[in-house]
Amino acid sequence: MKKSSIIRTAASAALCLSLTAGAVMPKQALAWDWLSAGLAMFQVGAEYAYLNKQVSYLDNKGRDEYMGQIKNKYGVNTDPTANAMLTRIMTRLSDAVALTDDSIVKKPYNYFVNNDKSFNAFCTLGHNMSVNIGAFTKLNYNEDELAFVIAHEMGHGQKNHPAAGVKRALPLSILGALYASQNRNSASSVGAALVTTIGTAKWVTKPMESQADKLAFDYAVAAGYNVGAGAALWQHILEQNGSKSSGFAELFNDHPTSVSRRDNYNKKITEWSKNQVNVNKETGLITVAGKPFYTPAKTTNMSPQEQAFLIAGNLSAVFHDGGQHDAVWTNSENVLLVGEQPVMSLDGVAEAGTVETRLRDILSSSNVRTVVTEEINDDNNSKRSTAKVKAEQKQESAAETKPMTMRQKLEAYKAQQ
Ligand SMILES: [Zn+2]
């Protein structure tokens, strides 16, 4: 039964009731009106009760069964690089989520790479997550950017947006048909109806999207991913699809717009750096401590801006952790580092030596005094060992106060059962 007809039946029946109150009506007519009203209202209530029950089942006890339905529908992709990367990202992000949200320990994510070649990922009921193979290929397997995509989906999962979205947005016509169907007691009938729409339906609202974006930053950065990868991701999406973002990911609803999401994440880079690192979103110029540092040249895979956000994210981590005191150096793999923090690859960079010198000059002349000036006269080996000792010291002190990882929490949880 459609929503409109349910309401109409209920409303007209209610009208009949009020008119008949106190009036003498033929017994048969009165009985029919009562029955009609009761049935209509019972029907709506029962449909919602049915929906709540099924959603709750798919979200908890039946979540693995539901995952099976999703895998059948979308197909499991076996690309080894994508699968290894997804496992690595999920492990790191799950550990990061568990630092602030214990609920993930009781309901760890199910996940797989699916065969869809479009650019999308989804998290649905039961912490069931899937990433299209198209997301990997279209992001050129950039792990930092993919981590932001997946962390966004985990933001939805941790805040129970899928259940709220299904209850809000499942069309009543579908619900009515499911309820009326013969398999109303089959726990997976809502799942079967949902499984065809999860990759396309717009279940989420604008506030849900903003919340997921914010959580994505917190989770991805806590997991050690590049602070600038959120801005880089949305820069990439903008370049692929234009500002309308029509071709991309229904689940990444086009509200808030791709431009505002890129800009929000760009602001986060600057905030994280204690206002020491900026990216000009028009040109890709990176400014460090108020001084122009570097504008990346376009490569086959990335625009100057996308690269700039990633480099700025690394520099942001340097300032956030007080690492601007550390040595600026280039390792044997031609990566420019500050202490142990990689900043950028110098492969294919014109006048790489100048880039290194410029960064060293900026850091040594920035208002925070550094030990860099002493170290630039040393040879590479001693620079490296100084940086290494510092990194080891950092790791030791971190180990003392390190919170439990997801795996440790999971083991502790199991031990209690
Ligand atoms: Zn979303």
One-letter-per-residue 3-state SS of 273-295: CCCCEEECCCCCCEEECCEEEEC
Q: How many CA atoms lie within 13 A of 254 on its CB side?
A: 11
Residue 37, pLDDT above cutoff 70: no
Instruction: Identify the band that residue 131 occupies on the pLDDT scale cut at 50, 70 and 90.
Output: very high
Answer for the pair 131, 146: CB distance below 8 angstroms, yes or no: yes
Token output for 393:
């010291």
Residue 229 CA from chain centroid, whole number:
12
Q: Looking at residue 190, what is its pLDDT?
A: 72
Residue carrying structure tokens 């750096």:
273
Q: What percent of the chain has pLDDT over 90?
A: 56
Higher pLDDT, 106 or 383: 106
Q: Looking at residue 12, what is its pLDDT?
A: 30
Higher pLDDT, 92 or 250: 92
Residue 360, pLDDT above cutoff 90: yes
Residue 346, pLDDT above cutoff 60: yes
Question: Which residues does 11 contact at the CB level (< 8 Å), separation at least 6?
Answer: none
Answer for the pair 55, 163: CB distance below 8 angstroms, yes or no: yes
**Residue 237, burial from CB neighbour count under 10 angstroms (0-12, 13-18, 19+):** buried
Q: How far is ligand 1, taken at its centre, from the CA of residue 191, in Å?
A: 20
Q: How far is ligand 1, taken at its centre, from the CA of residue 407, in Å?
A: 26
Q: Looking at residue 186, what is its pLDDT?
A: 54
Using only C-alpha atoms, the chain has a radius of gyration, in whole angstroms, of 28
Q: How far is ligand 1, taken at its centre, from the CA of residue 25, in Å?
A: 56
How confident is the model over 278-293, as a mean pLDDT?
97
Bridge partners (DSSP) of residue 76 are 114
Q: Looking at residue 14, what is its pLDDT?
A: 30
Q: How far is ligand 1, taken at its centre, from the CA of residue 128, in Å?
A: 14
Higher pLDDT, 2 or 88: 88
DSSP E strand stretches across 240-326: 277-279, 286-288, 291-294
Residue 194, pLDDT above cutoff 70: yes
Q: How far is ligand 1, taken at its centre, from the CA of residue 413, in Å?
A: 30
Q: How far is ligand 1, taken at its centre, from the CA of residue 155, in Å?
A: 8
The total domain count for the chain is 1
CA distances from 180 to 172, 177, 189, 262, 340 (A): 12, 5, 11, 46, 63
3-state helix vs strand vs coil in the chain, percent to 5: 60, 10, 30
> Can you tell me whether residue 105 is helix, strand or coil?
helix
Q: Is the omega angle on the peptide bond into residue 256 within 30 degrees of 0, that is, cis?
A: yes
Residue 199, pLDDT above cutoff 80: no
Token output for 161:
């947006």
Q: How far is ligand 1, taken at its centre, from the CA of residue 212, in Å?
A: 6
Task: Indicate whether 284 belongs to any domain.
Answer: no
Residue 269, pLDDT above cutoff 70: yes
Instruction: Identify the band that residue 387 occupies on the pLDDT scale cut at 50, 70 and 90.
Output: low
Residue 352 phi/psi, 5° resolution? -60, -35
**Distance from C-alpha of 303 to C-alpha of 339, rounded to nearest angstrom:** 27
Task: Indicate whether 81 belongs to any domain.
Answer: yes
pLDDT tens, residue by residue, 201-238:
667 888 999 999 999 999 999 999 999 999 999 999 99
Instruction: Identify the band that residue 165 occupies on the pLDDT scale cut at 50, 70 and 90.
Output: confident
Does the pTM exceed 0.95?
no
Bridge partners (DSSP) of residue 110 are 128
Instruction: Identify the band that residue 251 occupies on the pLDDT scale cut at 50, 70 and 90.
Output: very low
Q: How far is ligand 1, taken at its centre, from the CA of residue 281, in Å?
A: 23
Q: How far is ligand 1, taken at its centre, from the CA of residue 150, in Å?
A: 10
How confident is the model over 371-397, as a mean pLDDT?
47
Q: How far is ligand 1, taken at its centre, from the CA of residue 204, in Å?
A: 7
Residue 64, pLDDT above cutoff 70: yes
Q: Looking at residue 193, what is its pLDDT?
A: 74
Identity of the amino acid at 305: Q
Q: How far is ligand 1, taken at its centre, from the CA of residue 15, in Å?
A: 43
Among 47-51, 102-106, 142-146, 331-335, where is mean pLDDT lowest? 47-51
Q: How far is ligand 1, taken at its centre, from the CA of residue 178, in Å?
A: 27
**Distance from C-alpha of 371 to C-alpha of 348, rounded to nearest angstrom:** 29
Question: Which residues does 100 contact at the CB level (< 8 Å), separation at least 6?
Answer: 218, 222
Residue 28, pLDDT above cutoff 60: no
Task: Indicate whether 313 belongs to any domain.
Answer: no
Q: How far is ligand 1, taken at its centre, from the CA of residue 253, in Å?
A: 6
Q: How far is ligand 1, taken at its centre, from the CA of residue 245, in Å?
A: 14
Answer for the pair 366, 289: CB distance below 8 angstroms, yes or no: yes
Q: How far is ligand 1, taken at its centre, from the CA of residue 309, in Å?
A: 21
54-58, 117-121, 262-266, range with greatest mean pLDDT: 262-266
Residue 359, pLDDT above cutoff 70: yes
Q: Looking at residue 375, what is its pLDDT?
A: 42
Q: Looking at residue 50, what is its pLDDT?
A: 81
Residue 56, Cβ neighbours under 10 Å: how many?
14
Q: Looking at residue 184, what is its pLDDT?
A: 54
Q: How far is ligand 1, taken at its centre, from the CA of residue 77, in Å?
A: 22
Q: Looking at residue 215, what is its pLDDT?
A: 97
Task: Indicate whether 184 belongs to any domain.
Answer: yes
**Residue 204, burial from CB neighbour count under 10 angstroms (0-12, 13-18, 19+):** buried
Q: Looking at residue 54, what is its pLDDT?
A: 84
How confident is the model over 240-267, as a mean pLDDT?
70
Residue 406, pLDDT above cutoff 80: no
Q: How far is ligand 1, taken at its centre, from the CA of residue 160, in Å?
A: 12
Q: How far is ligand 1, taken at its centre, from the CA of residue 334, in Å?
A: 37
Q: Which domain holds residue 81?
A: 47-225
Which ranges constitute the DSSP H helices of 21-142?
27-59, 63-74, 80-100, 103-106, 133-138
Q: What percent of the chain has pLDDT over 70?
A: 71
Token output for 336:
């420019």
Task: Indicate whether 190 belongs to any domain.
Answer: yes
Q: How far is ligand 1, taken at its centre, from the CA of residue 342, in Å?
A: 30
Round the average pLDDT of the chain to a whole number and report it. Answer: 80
24-33, 38-47, 77-86, 343-352, range with greatest mean pLDDT: 77-86
Task: Indicate whether 392 belongs to any domain.
Answer: no
